Structure 1
Amino acid sequence: MKLIFILYTLFFFQFSFSQITNDDPEIKKMVSEVKTENLEKIVNKLVTFGTRHTLSDTKNEIRGIGAAQKWVKSEFDKYALESNGRLTSKIDYFILKADGKRITNDTEVANVIATLKGTDSNDNRVLIVSGHLDSRATDVMDAKIDAPGANDDGSGVAAMMELCRIMSKRQFPFTLIFVAVTGEEQGLYGAKHLAEFAKTNNWNIVAMLNNDMIGNSNSSGTGIHDNTQVRVFSEAIPFLETEDESKTRKATNRDNDSPSRQLARYIKTVTKQYVDQLNINLVYRNDRFLRGGDHTPFMQNGFTAIRFCEINENYNHQHQNLRTENGIKYGDLPEYMDFEYLRKITCANLATFSNLAWSPKAPTSVGIEIKELTNSSTLVWKAPEGKSVYGYNILMRETSSAHWEKIFFVKDEKATIPYSKDNYFFAVQSIDALGHASLPLFPTPIR
């Protein structure tokens, strides 16, 4: 009996729940700084530009996409005043070639980008959060009619700007990028331009969070009103999966464990920790059925990316001309939005972004030993470079489960878990003393 007690005690102290379950006071403070009135003010301002259609007027000072871009940059410049010189902004102009579809002529367009420089010159990681600035009405080619775009996607731009305002007052070790992209409605062109630039310049993008339509809680047709859930879309098989990676995926049945799926689960964990009354609904597809968003070009270029989107869409207030028919009002106006819902989703973005921004790098060479047939599982990995690691979380779930069910905290770079790899999936993440965790990595077989 004494021996059993000693073994139990050793096991208890070797594996325990990680400190990621403890709140970081600074992240809680930042989350509390997200204000409903700020988000509403931004959305209302964006609506005043009449239309933000990609092909709308770029010279007018009060109407069109050009005026909106200049205003977003002016707000970024205000945030920069409290950043000790670390936040810079620009309007990144580029030429869209006519595509014979939704771009009729060669057109100059632009993304509005704010970059918060990191404090560690040796840490080349990058995080990106985005919303698309352009809007549309019923006819996707009508650049003159009013297209207020309050929810689609004034909501995503407002969330991104609120993150920039709050986070620019703090210091983070590596680069954070806040961007209002253009051309989403015409073909994801702004995101494509930025993703291709990032790939060409070898950016080490840890994660890209796309926010598109996150401010409506009422669904058309069904009449459902729900502001307690938000969808996070994530791809299954990476676009740039190699032949060897494909073989490993099939051999280990890791179809639901792509880097983007790990990011989605990470968001669910952190949101549960920091945001009340908001559940992350993990949707296991790249985007809505046969559709796409600004995260798609990033995934197509090999980066880890997801999309936040409201749980129920209201098609009366999406891609519609402003009008009233049969007593039904159509159009994407602020009066149809739920700004408390938008606040909560913005908080989920902020908690995720800040945790990742303060996290150590992920462990490397994460593997699971298969040299012997056992009813336990031995995982091994190497410590990451850079910021010191307090320990590691080993995450575990049943093969049929969408989300992690158990967390084991360990200090070493090797651990044997008394659960069979035949019955469970595992992943490993680095963690610092304040509970900031890296993205989890799925182990590869080690013979």
Structure 2
Amino acid sequence: MVNAQSQESSSRSQGLTYTDQALLHEIGRSASAQRIEQDIQTLVSFGTRHTLSETESETRGIGAARRWIKEEFEKISADCGGCLEVFFQSRVISGERRIPNATEVVSVIAIQKGMSDPSRYVLMSGDIDSRVSDVMDATSDSPGANDNASGVAGTLEAARLLSKHKFHGSIVYAALSGEEQGLFGGQILAEYAQENNWRLKAVLNNDMIGNIEGINGVINNTTARIFAEGTRQTETADEARLRRFTGGEVDSPSRNLARYIDLMADRYIENLDTMVIYRLDRFRRGGHHRPFNDLGYPGVRIMETNEHYQRQHQDLRTENGIKYGDTIDGVNFDYAAKLTALNAVSLAGMANAPTPPAEVSIAGAVQPSTTLSWAAADPEQNPQLMGYKIYWRLTDAPQWQFSKYVGNVTTATLENVVIDNYFFGVASVSKDGFESPVVYPGAAGAFGE
């Protein structure tokens, strides 16, 4: 007779070993600190990029900055034979606390369409706008070198790297405006995605990815943070009642997206350890992934571990021998390149993998075994699909621990693995070994259809 423990060990050993991807190693090594430095220098040179700043000048203000960003995306597109669709996206905002008068909030969007599944998207973003101490001061110099020229420069660099390759799914590169005034650029793009039926599976918001010196005296270029919200904002009362009995508080799609990125760091980015933080953002603060989370899309914030508050949202000045202001000398370009590479390999991995499983369900209450089921992926959209892999972990474990490849099926049973003792999920696997993020069963973990 085979006992439960030996049967479980057997199940673990049957898992298809993760396939190391040469393409992702290449991408992970290719981010250029020099190009990122040049892009940050250019963005800083516009003086201020405040949302309410000058728009007509060719050399100063947010208008000049967004036109330059669009030109850079167009150059990247020209280099790949027109592979990017580049456009301004705008809306007039008024009557808001930080935008009282009618102001056109303009973001720059570039889309690299997928080969077989163009309606499935993953997205990377950075914020164009900058600010000083007074959030309404649109005229003072506001370099915004780290916050957030670093995120925009990283997004441009990721586009340069990934546009050299073709992927099954689509990739969006977004330079968003209006973040400091109320997350308006993200809200506009999130609503656009919803209106245009984007199957948006991942939003990687990059906000401050270049500082390695903390206000607490720590200097470290080997760690980064991934902020990921728990229970999804769109959860209904019925879904909440079910979740109370089935779990899922720590397995929202945003959390499993963060786990995926964490594994990409371990596998493909040298000397980088990411911290997955179970919170929407820093304590009582926010970022441009939030508008996407508000509509139910999986979104996370990727950023430096060690913040320096004298370099954030500050007038340029020196007081008592302390220098204040977000100037370029506070940016570590090698570190910004490292975090850019993390984004690029994560986007590439997801875009090349089959779509995350949909309609995942689970059964096994008062049974010795656990059964998972899911919907079959569309074969035309996912010609690279080989099959599916079940993952499970102890309920207090932060990362998936065990796995079993089950083939191209839509239901599978883990014999003598008791449902009460673990959390479970399913990932899609391509013929060449790319995997999707893991999807937790039920509405709590769904990545959408």
Deviations 1:253-297 (A, max 9, x none): 211011111111111112111111111101101111111100000
Q: Aligned to 1:270, which of 254, 264, 272?
A: 264
| 8 Å Cα contact 1:14-1:409 kept in structure 2 | no
| Alignment correspondent of 2:36 | 39
Q: Higher relative contact order by CA 8 Å / sep ≥ 6: 1 or 2?
A: 2
| Alignment correspondent of 2:422 | 424
When residues 139 and 414 of structure 1 are mapped into structure 2, their CA distance, relative to the original with a 3 A threshold, is same
Aligned-partner Cα distance in 1 for 2:124–2:16:
27
Alignment of 1:235-246 (within 5 A): 235-246=229-240
TM superposition shift of 1:319: 0.6
Q: Aligned to 1:205, which of 189, 200, 206?
A: 200
| 8 Å Cα contact 2:364-2:418 kept in structure 1 | no
2:105 is paired with a residue of what secondary structure?
strand
Structure 2 residue 376 is the aligned partner of structure 1 residue 383: yes
| Alignment correspondent of 2:166 | 171
TM superposition shift of 1:371: 5.5
1:313 is paired with a residue of what secondary structure?
coil
| Alignment correspondent of 1:161 | 156
When residues 10 and 59 of structure 1 are mapped into structure 2, their CA distance, relative to the original with a 3 A threshold, is closer
Deviations 1:43-73 (A, max 9, x none): 1111101100000000000010000001111
| Alignment correspondent of 2:52 | 55
Count of paired positions: 436
Q: Which amino acid aligns with 2:438?
A: P
- State which drifts further: 226-235 or 57-66: 226-235
| Alignment correspondent of 1:442 | 440
TM superposition shift of 1:116: 1.1
TM superposition shift of 1:393: 2.1
Aligned-partner Cα distance in 2 for 1:218–1:269:
25
When residues 10 and 407 of structure 1 are mapped into structure 2, their CA distance, relative to the original with a 3 A threshold, is closer
| 8 Å Cα contact 1:98-1:107 kept in structure 2 | no
| % identical equivalent positions | 40
Q: Which amino acid aligns with 1:130?
A: S
| Alignment correspondent of 2:102 | 106
Aligned-partner Cα distance in 2 for 1:173–1:379:
26
Structure 2 residue 347 is the aligned partner of structure 1 residue 353: yes
Structure 2 residue 173 is the aligned partner of structure 1 residue 141: no
Q: Which amino acid aligns with 1:166?
A: L
- State which drifts further: 252-261 or 430-439: 430-439
Q: Which amino acid aligns with 2:205?
A: N
Q: What value does the CA root-mean-square deviation take over the aligned residues?
A: 2.1
Aligned-partner Cα distance in 1 for 2:385–2:170:
20
1:365 is paired with a residue of what secondary structure?
coil
| Alignment correspondent of 1:89 | 86
| Alignment correspondent of 1:28 | 25
| 8 Å Cα contact 1:15-1:410 kept in structure 2 | no
Q: Which amino acid aligns with 2:158?
A: L
When residues 371 and 404 of structure 1 are mapped into structure 2, their CA distance, relative to the original with a 3 A threshold, is closer
| 8 Å Cα contact 2:231-2:248 kept in structure 1 | no
Q: Which amino acid aligns with 2:16?
A: S
Q: Aligned to 2:16, which of 8, 15, 18?
A: 18
| Alignment correspondent of 1:363 | 357
1:390 is paired with a residue of what secondary structure?
strand
Q: Which amino acid aligns with 1:352?
A: S
When residues 364 and 141 of structure 1 are mapped into structure 2, their CA distance, relative to the original with a 3 A threshold, is closer
Aligned-partner Cα distance in 1 for 2:287–2:16:
34
| Alignment correspondent of 1:124 | 119
Deviations 1:102-132 (A, max 9, x none): 1121011200111112222x54111111000
TM superposition shift of 1:200: 2.1
Aligned-partner Cα distance in 1 for 2:250–2:7:
35
Structure 2 residue 298 is the aligned partner of structure 1 residue 298: no
Deviations 1:211-257 (A, max 9, x none): 0011111111x201122111111111111112232122111121101
1:357 is paired with a residue of what secondary structure?
helix
When residues 174 and 444 of structure 1 are mapped into structure 2, their CA distance, relative to the original with a 3 A threshold, is closer
Aligned-partner Cα distance in 2 for 1:199–1:380:
27
| Alignment correspondent of 1:190 | 185
Q: Which amino acid aligns with 1:133?
A: I
Q: Which amino acid aligns with 1:364?
A: A
Q: Aligned to 1:285, which of 279, 295, 307?
A: 279
Aligned-partner Cα distance in 2 for 1:42–1:417:
54
Aligned-partner Cα distance in 1 for 2:299–2:17:
26
Structure 2 residue 305 is the aligned partner of structure 1 residue 308: no
| Alignment correspondent of 2:413 | 415
Aligned-partner Cα distance in 2 for 1:339–1:71:
20
Aligned-partner Cα distance in 2 for 1:284–1:11:
30
| Alignment correspondent of 2:447 | none
Q: Aligned to 1:75, which of 60, 72, 76?
A: 72
Q: Aligned to 1:393, which of 389, 395, 402?
A: 389
Aligned-partner Cα distance in 2 for 1:443–1:184:
33
| 8 Å Cα contact 1:87-1:116 kept in structure 2 | yes
2:425 is paired with a residue of what secondary structure?
strand
Q: Aligned to 1:217, which of 204, 212, 216?
A: 212
Aligned-partner Cα distance in 1 for 2:249–2:437:
17
